[in-house]
Amino acid sequence: MALSTAQRAATALRDRIQAGVLPPGSRLSEEALGRDLGVSRNTLREAFRLLAHESLVEHRLNRGVFVRVLDADDVRDVYRMRAVLEGAGVRAAAGAPPALRAAVGAAVDEAERAAAAGDWREVGSADLRFHRALAALAGSARVDAAMDRLLAELRLAFHTMPSPRRFHEPFVARNRTLAGLLDGGDAAAAEAELADYLRHALRLILDAMREADR
């Protein structure tokens, strides 16, 4: 037992949330979930704190914990922060270790392979890996951790996307373009491409959210 019971309960909940079994807005009843997962209320509460730390869940005093709901403002802010972290990575690309630079290209390769196979779910996660690799170029553990939290949050919003293909397909080519600019050492162009990419992706998500609201 390398992990505590609370950590295992948190993992079980995290899986259910990201699989969509517990959709955003759901209230997580301590009694029902505790019975379901076979842990006591106190332990479940510790698990809740862990998930709250990851912003997957929101704790409201005396009202319980709820699966996080991202509104349009949240999504806009997530993209602002993405621009900060990924932008830092892109600017640091020239001086970054070869291993980190290679990870960027590898993620693009995987996305292209998955796209060719029509596996859009895998395209999505390769896309996340690509952008995580961009931020990692900054060479900071804290930037990496912040990026991970950010992407976990973003995954919540992806649940409202109707067609994974329509959302991910346009970005495979853009990722390739961006990786090419980085390899070529054209930092300014890479930064501009990244900024435009993020604007584009943000617009698609916001459109989908407006759509889903009706």
Distance CA(109)–CA(115), nearest Å, equals 10
For residue 91, CA distances in Å to 165, 167, 168 come to 30, 27, 25
Answer yes or no whether residue 80 interacts with its own copies by CB under 8 A. yes
Strand, helix or coil at 147? helix
Distance CA(135)–CA(84), nearest Å, equals 9
Answer yes or no whether residue 214 interacts with DNA by CB under 7 A. no
Residue 57 host element (H or E): strand 57-60
Q: Shortest distance, CB of residue 39 to DNA, whole angstroms?
A: 4
Answer yes or no whether residue 5 interacts with DNA by CB under 7 A. yes
Answer yes or no whether residue 198 interacts with its own copies by CB under 8 A. no
The stretches of the chain forming alpha helices (DSSP H) are 5-18, 30-37, 41-53, 72-92, 98-117, 120-136, 141-158, 164-183, 187-212
Structure tokens at 130: 């690509």
Q: Shortest distance, CB of residue 9 to its own copies, whole angstroms?
A: 14
Q: Which stretch binds its own copies (CB under 8 A): 72-80, 119-127, 159-167, 195-203?
A: 72-80
Among 12, 88, 100, 204, binds its own copies (CB under 8 A): 88
Query: Which of 54/186 has CB closer to DNA?
Result: 54
Answer yes or no whether residue 113 interacts with DNA by CB under 7 A. no
Structure tokens at 43: 């332990």
Query: Which of 42/163 has CB closer to DNA?
Result: 42
Hey, which residues between 147 and 176 contact its own copies (CB under 8 A)? 150
Distance CA(193)–CA(195), nearest Å, equals 5
**CB 143 within 8 Å of CB 85:** yes
Among 12, 45, 55, 120, binds DNA (CB under 7 A): 45
Binding mask 49-88 for DNA (x = CB under 7 A): ----------x-xxxx------------------------
Residues that bind DNA (CB under 7 A): 1, 4-6, 27-31, 38-43, 45-46, 59, 61-64
Interface residues with its own copies (CB under 8 A) are 3-4, 42, 45-46, 49-50, 52-53, 61, 77-78, 80-81, 83-85, 87-88, 138-143, 146, 150
